[in-house]
Amino acid sequence: MAGHYSGLIAHLTASVPPRYVPDMSGLITTTSQLSAVVGVATFGTTYLSLAPHPGPHPAMHAFTLITAVFALTALLAAALAYRATHRASTSGDGATGDVTERPAAASRRQMVTSPRVPERSTP
Protein backbone atom coordinates (compact mmCIF):
# COMPACT_ATOMS: atom_id res chain seq x y z
CA MET A 1 0.00 0.00 0.00
CA ALA A 2 2.83 2.41 0.73
CA GLY A 3 3.94 2.34 -2.90
CA HIS A 4 0.52 3.35 -4.19
CA TYR A 5 0.06 5.98 -1.51
CA SER A 6 3.42 7.62 -2.20
CA GLY A 7 2.53 7.74 -5.89
CA LEU A 8 -0.68 9.58 -5.04
CA ILE A 9 1.23 12.06 -2.87
CA ALA A 10 3.77 12.57 -5.67
CA HIS A 11 0.93 13.24 -8.10
CA LEU A 12 -0.74 15.72 -5.75
CA THR A 13 2.48 17.57 -4.98
CA ALA A 14 3.30 17.71 -8.70
CA SER A 15 0.16 19.77 -9.28
CA VAL A 16 1.40 22.74 -7.23
CA PRO A 17 4.26 25.16 -7.86
CA PRO A 18 7.62 23.83 -6.61
CA ARG A 19 7.91 26.37 -3.80
CA TYR A 20 4.66 25.06 -2.25
CA VAL A 21 5.51 21.34 -2.47
CA PRO A 22 6.79 21.05 1.15
CA ASP A 23 3.66 22.78 2.42
CA MET A 24 1.42 20.55 0.33
CA SER A 25 3.22 17.44 1.53
CA GLY A 26 2.81 18.49 5.15
CA LEU A 27 -0.86 19.29 4.59
CA ILE A 28 -1.47 15.88 3.02
CA THR A 29 0.33 14.07 5.86
CA THR A 30 -1.48 16.02 8.57
CA THR A 31 -4.84 15.48 6.89
CA SER A 32 -4.15 11.74 6.61
CA GLN A 33 -3.28 11.48 10.30
CA LEU A 34 -6.32 13.48 11.42
CA SER A 35 -8.55 11.43 9.13
CA ALA A 36 -7.22 8.22 10.67
CA VAL A 37 -7.93 9.49 14.19
CA VAL A 38 -11.45 10.60 13.30
CA GLY A 39 -12.09 7.33 11.45
CA VAL A 40 -11.01 5.15 14.36
CA ALA A 41 -13.07 7.20 16.79
CA THR A 42 -16.14 7.18 14.55
CA PHE A 43 -16.07 3.50 13.63
CA GLY A 44 -15.13 2.46 17.17
CA THR A 45 -17.97 4.46 18.70
CA THR A 46 -20.41 3.10 16.12
CA TYR A 47 -19.29 -0.47 16.78
CA LEU A 48 -19.66 -0.09 20.54
CA SER A 49 -23.10 1.48 20.15
CA LEU A 50 -24.25 -1.37 17.87
CA ALA A 51 -23.05 -4.03 20.34
CA PRO A 52 -24.21 -2.66 23.72
CA HIS A 53 -24.61 -6.08 25.33
CA PRO A 54 -21.94 -8.76 25.67
CA GLY A 55 -22.33 -11.87 23.62
CA PRO A 56 -21.54 -13.24 20.20
CA HIS A 57 -24.74 -12.21 18.36
CA PRO A 58 -24.65 -8.44 19.01
CA ALA A 59 -20.90 -8.41 18.34
CA MET A 60 -21.30 -10.33 15.05
CA HIS A 61 -24.08 -8.03 13.91
CA ALA A 62 -22.03 -4.91 14.76
CA PHE A 63 -18.92 -6.36 13.11
CA THR A 64 -20.86 -7.17 9.93
CA LEU A 65 -22.29 -3.66 9.67
CA ILE A 66 -18.97 -1.96 10.41
CA THR A 67 -17.17 -4.16 7.86
CA ALA A 68 -19.76 -3.26 5.21
CA VAL A 69 -19.31 0.44 5.98
CA PHE A 70 -15.51 0.00 5.81
CA ALA A 71 -15.88 -1.60 2.37
CA LEU A 72 -18.06 1.24 1.11
CA THR A 73 -15.63 3.81 2.51
CA ALA A 74 -12.69 2.08 0.81
CA LEU A 75 -14.59 1.96 -2.49
CA LEU A 76 -15.42 5.66 -2.24
CA ALA A 77 -11.79 6.50 -1.40
CA ALA A 78 -10.55 4.48 -4.38
CA ALA A 79 -13.01 6.21 -6.71
CA LEU A 80 -11.98 9.65 -5.44
CA ALA A 81 -8.28 8.81 -5.74
CA TYR A 82 -8.82 7.61 -9.30
CA ARG A 83 -10.77 10.73 -10.14
CA ALA A 84 -8.04 12.93 -8.64
CA THR A 85 -5.31 11.29 -10.71
CA HIS A 86 -7.10 10.75 -14.05
CA ARG A 87 -9.09 12.94 -16.34
CA ALA A 88 -11.42 11.79 -19.09
CA SER A 89 -10.68 13.47 -22.40
CA THR A 90 -13.70 14.62 -24.32
CA SER A 91 -14.28 14.86 -28.03
CA GLY A 92 -16.25 17.62 -29.72
CA ASP A 93 -19.59 15.80 -29.33
CA GLY A 94 -19.30 15.56 -25.54
CA ALA A 95 -18.62 11.82 -25.43
CA THR A 96 -15.83 10.75 -23.13
CA GLY A 97 -12.83 9.14 -24.72
CA ASP A 98 -9.79 7.44 -23.32
CA VAL A 99 -8.51 8.37 -19.89
CA THR A 100 -5.41 10.50 -20.28
CA GLU A 101 -2.98 12.01 -17.84
CA ARG A 102 -2.53 15.75 -17.60
CA PRO A 103 0.64 16.80 -19.50
CA ALA A 104 1.82 19.18 -16.76
CA ALA A 105 1.53 16.46 -14.13
CA ALA A 106 3.55 14.04 -16.27
CA SER A 107 6.40 16.52 -16.71
CA ARG A 108 6.38 17.42 -13.01
CA ARG A 109 6.34 13.74 -12.05
CA GLN A 110 9.53 13.34 -14.05
CA MET A 111 11.05 16.19 -12.02
CA VAL A 112 9.88 14.59 -8.77
CA THR A 113 11.14 11.10 -9.58
CA SER A 114 14.46 12.06 -11.18
CA PRO A 115 17.36 12.31 -8.74
CA ARG A 116 18.81 15.72 -8.21
CA VAL A 117 22.53 16.12 -8.42
CA PRO A 118 23.78 19.15 -6.51
CA GLU A 119 25.94 21.54 -8.44
CA ARG A 120 29.49 21.88 -7.14
CA SER A 121 31.37 25.07 -7.34
CA THR A 122 35.03 24.88 -8.16
CA PRO A 123 37.42 26.57 -5.70
The pLDDT > 70 percentage for the chain reads: 66
Stretch among 25-29, 45-49, 55-59, 99-103 having the lowest mean pLDDT = 99-103
For helices 2-14 and 103-113, the axis angle rounded to 10 degrees is 120
* Cα torsion 108, 75, 5, 43: sign: positive
Q: Return the pLDDT at 63.
A: 93
Domain spans of the chain? Answer: 2-111
Indicate if the pLDDT at residue 30 is higher than 60.
Answer: yes
Contacts of 24 (CB under 8 A, 6+ apart): 12, 13, 16
pTM: 0.53
pLDDT of residue 70: 92
Supply the pLDDT for residue 60.
Answer: 93
Rounded to an integer, the average pLDDT of 32-47 is 92
